[in-house]
Amino acid sequence: MLGPPFCEELPPTQEFLADSLPLAMSTEPAPSILHVDMDAFYASVEVRDNPSLAGLPVCVGGPASGRGVISAASYEARKFGVHSALPSAEARRRCPELVLLPPDFDKYTSVSRQVMAIFRRYTPLVEPLSLDEAFLDITGTERLFGDGEEVGHMIRADILRETGLVASVGVAPTKFLAKIASDLNKPDGFCVIRPAEIRDVLDPLPVSKIFGVGPRMTQKLNALGVQTVGDLASLEREDVSSRFGATGIWIHDLAHGIDNRRVNPKREEKSHGMERTFAEDLSDQAELRQFLLSFCEEVAFTLRDKGLRGRTVTLKARFGDFRTVTRSKTLDYPTNLGPRIFAIAKELLQRVDQQPLRLLGVSVSRLEDVRRPQQQSLFNGNPSGRDQWMESNSRLIRATESLDRLRKRHGRGIVIPGSLVGRDQPSRGAGQVLQQDPEAQPDLTDSLLKRLEQESEGENKTSAPEGEYGAQ
Ligand code: DCP
Ligand code: MG
């Protein structure tokens, strides 16, 4: 499932820390940061498209018969204690009349584009955080559209009118407070936090609401008697810093409403990946490789779509007993070609114990913009190796471009290997589209993929210069 892959509890990055240290909330900064977050996003899209589901407990997620999990739960479903990340089987137990639907990522991505385009009408400073939420900074556009509160109302109205969906909006002087505000009275929420109200809003909130305070940190803070944001704010900064280091300073500042992060429209993605929990533990290596191939193709396609390429390929594997391992390898050159990523991922899979796997995933990191010039020294001392590599690379690029045209026309699932069609494949609709379209025969895409795969294998063995890949 295309969830947010490889997301761990969030430690503050150096960049955030450096930004946040010296800030004082000088003179009453205007509430000009907006955080907009769609309500029960995937579930709401499904209800919109099938109005007979309105008012019912609707979820989008994996099947309850296997080990699927809930991706999104309508607010009606939440009354039964059903929420994202809950196993679907448990969700069904809690709410027997639950309407459980499979995800349709193409649809959510297209609604997401619509919503982001609405944001950009009001300001160029839009920082998407995921498909359904973004920060906006409207500083400087007040004369055109009004203040943060007015823009928030207009955006909500535009979203409802143009997509039929409801968003919650928070307006505040900082990103942290805007995100808190959008969450305060969801769904269909609207909240403005003005500088004078900051303490009143923050003090009673549980400390886990602070960005960067995950379950472990919450436990540690609770053990010190810190339950609420107010409790944390009342501690001495030095005390928190000596216990928790830089993270302590960060969370203490946030507890005081101090957050100097700017809305960054070019937020750099650190990695992109995809992972999947199987309905049953999988041990067949050929089957695992096929899943891996489809993940690599999907990840590579998204990288190309975003104008990115990356150098480090990481494989993640979780065994039946939940033991999780990762294996990484760094290329000397960045890539966004599926077969190249797959060639590495396959190698990494061989380095994992051959026991049944519960989960498999692949991600690509050390990302860079495709427009960045390639390093010339890559093939030093081996000009014929370079020529062969360039030749095969341009063939691969040409073939990939053809496949991308198919994907863009018929949906990204089109190029999932035929052997996965009709199974628990990562993207819904692959099989159907292939069969409906006379131009897109499963054989064609399958054999094309096979050829690409063989080609990249051949390259790794013969054309690539010595030391092309450096182990990480
Ligand atoms: N999502 C997912 N798996 C998760 C969490 C979220 O696949 N563990 C997907 C489905 C959600 C979407 O991301 O619809 C947006 O996530 P949110 O956290 O914004 O949750 P919702 O929009 O569903 O609900 P709300 O924002 O109203 O709390
Ligand atoms: Mg949401």
In tens, the pLDDT along 39-85 reads 999 999 999 999 999 999 999 999 998 788 899 999 999 999 999 98
Structural domain span for residue 466: 277-471
Q: Which residue has the higher pLDDT, 419 or 137?
A: 137
Determine, yes or no, domain membership for 145: no
How much is the mean pLDDT over the chain? 80
**Is 208 domain-assigned?**
no
94: left (phi over 0), alpha (psi -120 to 50) or beta: alpha
235 falls within a domain: no
Asked whether the CA dihedral 446, 450, 451, 453 is positive or negative, the reply is positive
Distance from the CA of 328 to the center of ligand 2, in angstroms?
32
* DSSP three-state, residue 426: coil
For residue 141, is it within any domain?
no
- Residue 136 maps to a domain: no
Separation between Cα atoms, residue 118 and residue 122, nearest integer Å: 7
Number of structural domains found in the chain: 1
Give 323's contacts (C-beta < 8 A, 6+ positions apart). none
Cα 306 to ligand 2 centroid, rounded to whole Å = 22
Query: Is 119 a residue whose pLDDT tops 90?
Result: yes
Strands 99-101 and 308-319 come out as unpaired
pLDDT number for residue 426: 42
128 lines ligand 1 (CB under 6 A): no
Whether 37 lines ligand 1, by a CB cut-off of 6 Å, is yes
> Across residues 455-464, what is the average pLDDT?
38
Question: Quick check: is 61 in a domain?
Answer: no
Tell me the mean pLDDT in the region 35-41.
Answer: 98
Question: Which of 9-18, 148-157, 225-234, 402-411 comes out lowest in average pLDDT?
Answer: 9-18
Residue 434 pLDDT exceeds 80: no
Q: Ligand 1, atom 24: nearest CA belongs to which residue?
A: 40
* Segment 325-381, tens digit of pLDDT: 999 999 888 999 998 999 999 999 999 999 999 999 999 999 887 766 555 445 555
Q: Which of the residue ranges 89-93, 229-233, 269-273, 286-290 would you say has the lowest mean pLDDT?
A: 269-273
Residues near ion ligand 2 (CB < 5 Å) are 37-38, 41, 132
Find out whether the beta carbon of 275 lies less than 6 Å from any atom of ligand 1. no
Considering the domain boundaries, does residue 461 fall inside one? Answer: yes
Catalytic sites, residue numbers: 133
Question: Where residue 456 falls among pLDDT bands split at 50, 70, 90?
Answer: very low
- 462 secondary structure, DSSP code: I
The whole-model pTM stands at 0.62
CATH at 373: 3.30.1490.100
Q: Is 339 inside any structural domain?
A: yes
pLDDT in tens, 252-281: 999 999 999 999 886 667 889 999 888 889
Q: Is the CB of 42 under 6 A from ligand 1?
A: yes
